[in-house]
Amino acid sequence: MTSRKYLVAASALALSAVVAGPVVADEWPERPVTMVIGFAPGGSTDIQGRVLANVMEDYLGQPVNVVNEPGAGSAVAFTNLANAEPDGYRFLFGGTTALTFTPIITDVEYEIDDFEYLAALALGQNALVTSAEQPFETFDEIIEYGRENPMTYAQQTALDQAIIERVAEAEGLDLAIVPTGGGGGMAPLVLGQEVDFAYSGGTHAQYTPTGEMVIAAFLSAERSPFYPDVPTLMELGYDYSIEDWRAIIVPQGVPEDVKDRLMEAAEFASQDERFIETTEGNTFFPVVYYDQEQMEDNVRRVRAATEEVMAD
């Protein structure tokens, strides 16, 4: 019977938390909301998500708890989300690559249509980086150098590898591609000049201010506002890009009014000083606000383009 006693105590506690919070009457949410992060604590998604949760909490008037569900580049979190109750009390904040890319190469139990993409709040940063001590700096110089010398490249995903392989083939480079254990594994390889250039999904933000790492080109569709002089691969004449948004994602079937509340909260956050400060100032991801209509299009467009790149 201890559990029963405990239940009473727990609900009393929960109740007092509800009463204490600055509640807007009869509006969703009525109890704490859970934000899922598909990565372990401490990464850039986690940092942005935690600040976002604090900001959304102010708007929604209920605690927003952050839960980390790490595994397989968010695929685990998306699998769980697809099976979650579509009541809006559980939503995910994270990149869209697990939807536009992962299902193409691995069997996962979710698909793009299992979710709704309520809002994008930050633009993913995908870059090609090299060490400042190398004899080349820009992407053209890399290609130039590569025509004469064998080169090495550190990949992080099969997608960036596929793109670089295609570029190397077109330019006639002798390129050896090594796998890395993610951004943390990439940095020592580039800084120690073990590899000539590498893919970076955001890790470079820590090394460009010191001048140790140079960004040769962006893989995104548009230039980054933080590095306005660095061209994109598209501008350089290669028709490949990796686009990725940090978005708020819910399972299909959430009631309209709940979605509206979440979108309002997201829009509020995109203008909030704290969120902008952390996202742009510390993790170097540009803050944006794309609404649901744009995002549903974006996700499907990128998925189709990625399928094309990976097709052969």
Partner 1 sequence: MARQSFWSGLVVMVFAALCLTWIIPNYAGVNPLAQMPPDLVPNIASWIMLLSAGVVVIKSIMEMVEKRESPVNLEIDWRAFGWAAWPFVYIAAAIFVLSHVKLTYAGAPIIALMLILLGERRWYILLGCSVVPVVLLYVLSVYMMRVGVV
Partner 2 sequence: MDFSIVGSAIGETLQFDALFGIAGGVFLGYIIGVIPGLSRSVAIAIAIPMTFYMSPLIAISFLIGLSKGTAAGSAVSAILLNAPGEASSAATSLDGYPMAKSGKPRTALQVGLLASVIGDILATTILIFVAIPFARVALLFGPYEMAAILAFALVFIAGLSGGDIFKGLAAGALGVLLGTIGLDNQTGLPRLTFGYTQLMDGMPLIAVAIGTLALSEMFVQSEKLRYERETMAVKLENHKGDRITFPILRKIFPTILRGTGVGTFVGALPGLGPSVGSWMSYGMAKRASRTPEQFGKGAPEGVAASESADNAVIPAALIPLFGLGIPGNVSAALLIGAFAIHGITVGPLLLRDEPELLYSIFAGMIVASIFMLILGWFGLMVFAQITRVPPHVVIPIVIFFCLAGMLLQGYGAFGLIILIAFAALGYLMKKYDYSFVTFLVAFIITPMLELNLRQSIILSRGNWEVLLGRPIALFFIACTLLAFIILAKRTIERKKPIAEIGD
Binding residues for partner 1 (CB under 8 A): 2-3, 5-7, 10, 13, 32, 34, 63, 65-68
Q: Which is nearer to partner 2, 180 or 232 (CB)?
A: 180
Rounded to an integer, what distance in angstroms lies between the CA atom of residue 215 and that of residue 81?
A: 35
Which does residue 135 touch among partner 2, partner 1, none (CB within 5 to 8 A, set by kind)? none
Q: Which is nearer to partner 1, 179 or 192 (CB)?
A: 179
Whose structure tokens read 């796998």?
A: 179
Rounded to an integer, what distance in angstroms lies between the CA atom of residue 265 and that of residue 269?
A: 6
For 93-127, b where at least 16 C-beta lie within 10 A, e where not — what string? Answer: bbbbbbbbbbbeeeebebeeebbbbbbbbbbbbbb
Check if the beta carbon of residue 59 is closer than 8 Å to that of residue 265. Answer: yes
Minimum distance of partner 1 from residue 10's CB (angstroms): 7
Residues that bind partner 2 (CB under 8 A): 40-44, 46-47, 50-51, 54, 66-73, 75-76, 79-80, 105-109, 150, 152, 157-158, 176-181, 184-185, 187-189, 191-192, 194-195, 205-207, 209-210, 212, 277-278, 281-283
Q: Which is nearer to partner 1, 63 or 231 (CB)?
A: 63
Which does residue 253 touch among partner 1, partner 2, none (CB within 5 to 8 A, set by kind)? none
Q: Which two tokens stand for residue 231?
A: 């061209």
Helix, strand, coil shares, percent, the chain, to 5 = 45, 20, 35
Q: Which is nearer to partner 2, 76 or 288 (CB)?
A: 76
Which does residue 42 touch among partner 1, partner 2, none (CB within 5 to 8 A, set by kind)? partner 2
Rounded to an integer, what distance in angstroms lies between the CA atom of residue 182 and that of residue 202?
A: 11
Minimum distance of partner 2 from residue 26's CB (angstroms): 29
Q: Which is nearer to partner 1, 123 or 265 (CB)?
A: 265
Pairing of the two strands 175-179 and 64-68? unpaired
Name 234's Cβ contacts closer than 8 Å, sequence gap at least 6. 221, 240, 241
Q: Which is nearer to partner 2, 76 or 258 (CB)?
A: 76
Rounded to an integer, what distance in angstroms lies between the CA atom of residue 38 and that of residue 40?
A: 7
Which does residue 34 touch among partner 1, partner 2, none (CB within 5 to 8 A, set by kind)? partner 1
Which does residue 134 touch among partner 1, partner 2, none (CB within 5 to 8 A, set by kind)? none
